[in-house]
Structure 1
């Protein structure tokens, strides 16, 4: 069935339009919520925050691309961007699993076996969760005691999850997950799923780099609504790292809707009041939604000249 869907251009176009429509609805809804707050911001704040968000997403894409290359399916940057950013629009549908499925299927257009595409995406999620919780575990106890107390269990998991990123542990986990599918021809043809330590290290490095601009966009918004520039750095970075992670894990909420807002309001309490923190949360969602849509459109334009190789579907 998936093969037929992938070959049918009209079905794919329809699905893309549905996903884009959902993302557009999200942009419109967030704009309606944030319109009054936007009017009070300096003109340069929102575009700068969007640019920071896009830089963070670009680093996350490179983290995923490193893992895919480490599994034996390297992709050009423009192609990897198209696969990831167009696929990630699926998170605006109820249930984050759609983004996962879309990413794996789009990668098949460039002869990436589903087993490798799925493994790279799952490991990328593991890296994102572990690194993001580590960032939050460093930043929040020093800057937002209430957030650290409320979500201590998530922060405490950071060292354990980081240890699980060892290539041997990841290899064991990938092998265990792939075992039920070993009888499928495509999985057998793709060969054993092994990932190198260099690929994991590169992915961790790019994910850490991503938190510089991602944290910066929340810090900028926090400062713009009245937060102290210096005191806002720790809460902004730690709050968004934790909010992003918990929103990612709550798969039934489109793009972590509701979860991120709660975490940001609590974690930013030391530097801004609850009303201003809620404004930051709403503005941040608007910024990141625009960044998602912007990258999806830009990646389609950038990859138009790429030649799609013929897919080798199993009989």
Structure 2
């Protein structure tokens, strides 16, 4: 089914652009700025580095590209790391809130009201505590990555808008995965809410598994475990592997398109 595949691909690319826009706009918290075209180039080129073993390489690549764009490497890497932490938090929150739509054999007896309450509590805690914890997080991440990392201290209103914005990519990813499932499995595909819950939960597992480049293997294993009670083991394995190949191919094609459109990094003064 080509139409769901095209829709899934378009939605995924638009979601990446939203993430780039959010990252580039957040640079103001570090007193820096970057044109959207240059931000897109840096984002897509350096994002491929996450498949290299060792979490530090992506940040090293970001630093090098930031210098070429004449912005602070500390700002560029700090903004990406901050976004990843908030994305992880919103991803966990959505995974918990969507757990009741998954089979009980996977999640046990999950109370929907309790799940929603825990999610709301987690999001509220992130809005309040992340700016407060900035100094501690700076010290920890600087030691971990062996480079200077500065964490921002946005106002509560700015933080609320930022966290709210970073809920949207997960929803879009979930819908895109559902569309991809329709394209691949047709009527045997999971419905939209279970598909979204499976994708978000498995993606979060891949982020947490820092030892796996790009969550490779971990995300697929989690996806098979969560999907098997819904589709059966064979379709779950097929969907897990095919979705990884699809996303990697889509990311490479998008990066090549970005390079063709924006072949060099421009300075923020241009």
Q: TM-score range by the shorter chain?
A: 0.7 to 0.9
1:134 CA drift (Å):
1.6
What are the ranges of 5 or more consecutive residues in structure 1 without an aligned counterpart? 1-41, 311-315
1:236 CA drift (Å):
0.9
2:126 partner SS: coil
Deviations 1:133-181 (A, max 9, x none): 1221122222333333499xxx898566534432x63233332243587
TM-score (normalised: structure 2):
0.80
Q: Is the 8 A contact 2:27 2:79 kept in 1?
A: yes
1:122 to 67, 81, 85: 81
Q: Which aligned pairs between 1:1-315 and structure 2 lie closer than 5 A?
A: 42-149=1-108, 161-166=122-127, 169-179=129-139, 193-223=152-182, 224-227=184-187, 232-304=191-263, 307-308=266-267
Distance (Å, rounded) in 2 between the aligned partners of 1:105 and 1:199: 29
Distance (Å, rounded) in 1 between the aligned partners of 2:213 and 2:154: 30
1:56 CA drift (Å):
2.2
What are the ranges of 5 or more consecutive residues in structure 2 without an aligned counterpart? none
1:47 CA drift (Å):
3.7
Residues matched between the structures, number: 259
Distance 1:149 1:100, change over 3 A: farther
Deviations 1:200-256 (A, max 9, x none): 334323322212331122212323414556x62111101111111111121221211
Q: Is the 8 A contact 1:88 1:99 kept in 2?
A: yes
Q: Is the 8 A contact 1:62 1:203 kept in 2?
A: no
Distance (Å, rounded) in 1 between the aligned partners of 2:103 and 2:212: 25
Distance 1:202 1:302, change over 3 A: farther
Distance (Å, rounded) in 1 between the aligned partners of 2:150 and 2:235: 53
Distance (Å, rounded) in 2 between the aligned partners of 1:284 and 1:191: 35
- Runs of 4+ aligned structure 1 residues displaced above 6 Å come to none
Distance 1:106 1:161, change over 3 A: farther
Distance (Å, rounded) in 2 between the aligned partners of 1:270 and 1:191: 44
TM-score (normalised: structure 1):
0.70
Distance 1:116 1:265, change over 3 A: same
